[in-house]
Structure 1
């Protein structure tokens, strides 16, 4: 008889671990001490919030500041931190503190969690991840605390500073501003906008990229993966900023009433946050349709692989674009930065992209059935936001039916783990075919 450990491969451990954390968070949020009214959340609302926090999404059915007590807010913040870095990171850190050896299986789970190529140096990477996180969140929290101190008591400002720094570095998007208004009061504030944008971007680059940048002073080289992440991030951010600036320039409900610098800050923030943070300085429901559709595309793409963000990941997007361009030019090999991309990588990119697209379309259809009476773009926007673990909303989420909330809960869970990880967790291990079938010719296009 096989031991239960034999059945728990790395993908299964990740799925099970996140599920357990969500259930613990759900229980804590149902306690009377967790809410301002002393009644606790209903099970479904608690499950939704715990899933959103652990999957670092930011979609909410109740306003965080208006509903939760300090205890409840700290539970949400803890779930964000654990979910953003991954429960295996904290487990490994605890093992290191206790002087325990990290087993091969645990190293394999860490490799799967960070989408790393090998297990070599994985424990050292975990230590650096924790160090990077502490430094970046502390710097961000300090800047935000100083800025918030002009608007509120110093104690509250420090609390708000750390909450929003941790939330945004982990690309969660939860806020304490109340009334579902997120950071709209700071749309043209350079300290808040630039600090939050920096936290979101750094959290979305990916810890593997962080590690390579840290070691660059010694190695003087960057991998193709890191180059793709850095350059694609810059192109998407710059391009989206320009487009949002143009699309919303005369919109009186968004950028129209701001001066030139305010328009720039507003456009920049909205170009950064869909990949995949969830905080917003512009009212989402008031955006033009062009901006909404661009936002959906950005949410679908997401940020760096092995980061706190979701989506299909910008490396997947870059490989797909390179494949498309090579096919147009009639080239057989797909080349990026003078390196040929393996066919297995291309097929995986296609699988990830199609899996994400099918999930979004399915969820959009289901929401249009369970929650009738809304414009179609609201269903598509909410489905993409949940899959990309973004957290931006046109206002549909708080109005969802019980069935609609369950659908979004499942979508956030799949989006955080990734459709391939979940698929590998519930299917048998891939095996090689004993023989190959004859080739078949199919007409395409």
Structure 2
């Protein structure tokens, strides 16, 4: 890296590329598929990108197309993609007792969206411990349902696989026939366990540490933690309530009140970049699809296993909008004012992600005769690294698949680094262009 003179952001992007390349080559091996046939380069690439970018969109059913070897490769890619390859790299260095240099620490800081380099190694240890504990508890809870159904060995394996997939907000499943967890739509144990894993993974590593240090005293948390927790709660509950109302005369017909609430909450939670679905998204109303796309676009929180533009981004934009409407001089929240740098980063991330989605949608619509709503849904799902689909993923031609691959990669790498790259300190230009006022609005 020193010889190539790569920046920290370039190292992050290159790291994910190498992970994708390795996963693609492994998935192309005959031992990775059930029938022993070679998987095409494009199918292997699509699956590797989807797994390492913790998205969940698939062109081959995970439970029926891939062997145990192939599934374990996918699971490894999910874990690396969820925690970040720098977290895994730093963990390897710690296990082998190798020296962790300043450059490693700098890249790790940008990889997890931290604001300070001090204590990053200690934070990495906490990330690994929390991940192991949470995924382990999730696996045990899910095994309580899967072991009686599939037997001890397969049930435990299903528990581990789906626990890691949920915690990393990946959305890959082994149920077969591309059905996700539709068969468990009324099962509280499976639904609440997955929602818990998705939520914890989507809060972010820095929020975990803040909660731990402040001993769960919410009033003492840092501003970012307060915003993340508040926004996550409002998006999940608010989104669930809207979906409950919109699907009252559609998917909810025939369900009892408990199943209706459970289904709405789960879809609201999983839309924020997890990718599981307990109902058929294609059968949803147009309004519900719009709500799902909004939730997918926002996603999780900074430094988490989730994608999207992040909860802090949308909160900053909303706060500045409200401040402008009220003619206030600054945007305030929880007794603190937001700086202009935060607004610049938020606007940049918002519009770059939205531009990619619109461009990707336009290209796919130009290539194929598909419903605009379905293509837009797919593009939001890919850019937000969500994985929910209305069913068109398998109908995409190679060129359209490459567009989705690009969106998934940018959604994972870009959501981490776009804002940081823009705000990197650069030398002040010696000449500033003259300003001139224009009319806005």
**TM-score normalized with structure 2 length:** 0.97
Aligned ranges for residues 50-199 of structure 1 at < 5 Å?
50-199=48-197
- Pairing partner for 2:405 from 409, 412, 416: 409
1:217 match: secondary structure:
coil
Q: RMSD of aligned C-alpha atoms?
A: 1.8
1:262 match: secondary structure:
helix
Match of residue 248 from structure 1 = 247
- Residues 115, 428 of structure 1: alpha-carbon distance in 2 compared, 3 angstrom cutoff: closer
Tell me the distance in 2 between the aligned counterparts of 1:273 and 1:343. 32
**Match status 1:234 vs 2:261:** no
- Residues 189, 146 of structure 1: alpha-carbon distance in 2 compared, 3 angstrom cutoff: same
Shift of 1:141: 0.3
Shift of 1:422: 5.8
Tell me the distance in 1 between the aligned counterparts of 2:90 and 2:30. 32
Tell me the distance in 2 between the aligned counterparts of 1:274 and 1:75. 25
Contact 1:200 1:273 in 2 (8 A): yes
- Pairing partner for 1:270 from 261, 264, 267: 267
- Residues 226, 65 of structure 1: alpha-carbon distance in 2 compared, 3 angstrom cutoff: same
**Match status 1:327 vs 2:324:** yes
Contact 2:13 2:413 in 1 (8 A): yes
Tell me the distance in 1 between the aligned counterparts of 2:175 and 2:74. 15
Contact 1:144 1:161 in 2 (8 A): yes
Match of residue 365 from structure 2 = 368
Tell me the distance in 2 between the aligned counterparts of 1:319 and 1:147. 41
1:441 match: secondary structure:
coil
Shift of 1:259: 0.6
Shift of 1:101: 2.0
Structure 2: tracts of 5 or more residues without a match: none
2:150 match: secondary structure:
coil
Aligned residues: 440
Aligned ranges for residues 209-358 of structure 1 at < 5 Å?
209-217=207-215, 221-251=220-250, 254-358=251-355
Match of residue 443 from structure 1 = 439
Match of residue 380 from structure 2 = 384
**TM-score normalized with structure 1 length:** 0.96
Shift of 1:418: 1.6
Contact 1:241 1:271 in 2 (8 A): yes
Shift of 1:431: 3.3
1:150 match: secondary structure:
helix
**Match status 1:203 vs 2:201:** yes
Instruction: Single out whichever of 428-437 and 180-189 deviates more from structure 2.
Output: 428-437
- Residues 296, 126 of structure 1: alpha-carbon distance in 2 compared, 3 angstrom cutoff: same
**Which runs of structure 1 show a deviation greater than 6 angstroms over 4 or more consecutive aligned residues?**
423-429
